[in-house]
Amino acid sequence: MTARRPPAVAFLGLGALGAPMAANLARAGFDLTVHNRTPGPEADLVAAGAEAAASVPAAVAAAGLICLCLSDDAAVQAVLTAAGPALASGSLVVDFSTIAPATSQALAADLAHRGVGYIDAPVTGGTEGARAGTLSVLVGGDRADVERARPLLEVVGQRITHLGPVGAGQQAKAVNQVLVAGSYAAVAEAMALGRRLGLPMALVRDALTAGAAGSWALEHRAANMLEGRYPLGFRLALHRKDLAIALEAAAAVGVEIPLSQLVAAMEDSLLEAGHGDDDVSALARWYAAAAADAALGS
């Protein structure tokens, strides 16, 4: 019996997460067409077996599954508008972007009128997880649509969790970003304290990673904080955008999240200082700046 060929896939948005996710799909044998609004990232994917499309409509025209991994609500809306009638009835949009739950719900309703399915599937796990195919995928949508997308989801992610209807994935991602805010800020604060105490912080970091304070941020980002370098895993500006979604979601249900409000203010100051394209671990810069200000005032 001939093996069933995977459906044709379009992948739009080839940034720090999207490019390695698309590369994993190409390696897995999917018939893949890629497009990025800013040309350039397609070249490596073409070398891996994908086809590059010159426009959004050209990318989606023959695809049964359309993957989006874009920066924000406006970008997702713009790409789907550009796709227009090229989106075939019966196709399914798999949106890996992190956007507001209400935006996902509105997009799903609009696409349904055209016979196109939609699931929100934001991811967590950083660029490391995107490259390794070990992301955690937080999914909202109809069960039939989720199952249709599952072979693709299982290539880009190690854990696929269907959380409810469209929008539930984005709500879970908001919860995730609250945790990211607190954990990164706590690690940055702890590293700043330890350094000021004169401790051998590389040893302290290794010791704490194995204890009750261990976390993904401590294991994967504390060393960079200590070295004062912030190679891109997830951009600070994008996390601030995601944190705004979380703050809005909390306000809508009357939940106070003061730690997230504090981290948002810290990130705002870093954005004003020009660090928006740094990794989120650049929160450590806030403590360095505070220490410098204190030294000048003493």
One-letter identity of residue 60: V
* Catalytically annotated residue among 35, 148, 162, 173: 173
Which residues are bridge partners to 11 per DSSP?
34, 67
Check if the beta carbon of residue 33 is closer than 8 Å to that of residue 12.
Answer: no
Residue 12 CA: distances (Å) to CA of 32, 159, 293? 11, 22, 44
DSSP state of 210: T
Q: How far apart are CA 63 and CA 82, in angstroms?
A: 15
Alpha helices in 15-85 (DSSP H): 18-27, 42-47, 56-60, 73-83
Is 241 annotated as catalytic?
A: no
Under 8 Å CB-to-CB from 160, ≥6 apart: which residues? 137, 139, 150, 153, 154
Pairing type for strands 32-35 and 9-12 reads parallel
Q: Which residues are catalytic?
A: 173
